[in-house]
Structure 1
């Protein structure tokens, strides 16, 4: 099992980041490079939770999203072709006095088969940079979308 911890600072408010994170409409892949619009399936969507299958590149996972606390979002993997066990994502958002928000992300990857175990091992070591870059790109994409909304 690999646990990857990441940190970003953004000009977004926690509510703005959560709005981007939980936008399951067309164009999601513009915000999340590893989530193909063609592979996105929303099973259930509520005011503070969702059940969604997403992925791309031959890897998919079904996630149970919970944003009932807008400063602490959890995404638990409930099914996947390679992830199992305690796999999932957690985002903790903290407003700063200067108006920015710090984002602490934790990704847990527990492989349920050989492909998952190898992929999880790689992500936990040499591949961590790929996840850090993906998170950075997501934050920048949500910031750009928010700037368009505000203009």
Structure 2
């Protein structure tokens, strides 16, 4: 199961970052450059969870977000994905710092089809730079 670990530092506070990660309003595609409005749909939303489809025509996924504001943790479980299929997901761990927040990000993919497994195996080698770029704007991080 290929996994990518990434650490970033945001100038936002942990509560502000939690808000960015768990805002499923119509503003989400504006905040996140890797989501377009045509491929963003909230299926269900609770106090500490959401089921959404988001992404682009080239790469979208349907996932369940669950968050714990006390622990500063957001867990995303992929149910369906155009590129990788079901399995895996994301974990965002927020740790308050003197100035801003450390964000530890873990991406795991567990595809069952050979071509998708091959693509997932390349993630640890090629994904860090593109993930860092895609998160930098939304998380106000470096």
User: TM-score scaled to structure 1, two decimals?
Assistant: 0.81
The Cα of 1:68 is off from its aligned counterpart by: 2.7
Give runs of aligned pairs for residues 81-96 of structure 1, distance below 5 A. 81-84=82-85, 86-96=87-97
The Cα of 1:84 is off from its aligned counterpart by: 4.2
SS at match of 1:24: coil
In structure 1, the residue matched to 2:127 is 127
1:116 aligns with 2:116: yes
In structure 2, the residue matched to 1:137 is 137
The Cα of 1:54 is off from its aligned counterpart by: 0.9
Task: Tell me if the contact between 1:53 and 1:61 (Cα under 8 Å) persists in the aligned partners.
Answer: yes
The Cα of 1:85 is off from its aligned counterpart by: 5.4
In structure 1, the residue matched to 2:6 is 6
Structure 1 unaligned regions, length at least 5:
142-151
Distance 1:85 1:55 in 2: 15
Cα distance change, pair 34–119 in 1 and its aligned pair in 2 (3 A): farther
Task: Tell me if the contact between 2:62 and 2:81 (Cα under 8 Å) persists in the aligned partners.
Answer: yes
Residue deviations 1:89-121, cap 9 Å, x none? 00111112x232111010112233355334323
Cα distance change, pair 50–41 in 1 and its aligned pair in 2 (3 A): same
Q: CA RMSD of the aligned region, Å? A: 2.0
The Cα of 1:135 is off from its aligned counterpart by: 1.8
User: TM-score scaled to structure 2, two decimals?
Assistant: 0.85
**Displaced runs of 4 or more, over 6 A:** none
Task: Tell me if the contact between 2:41 and 2:54 (Cα under 8 Å) persists in the aligned partners.
Answer: yes
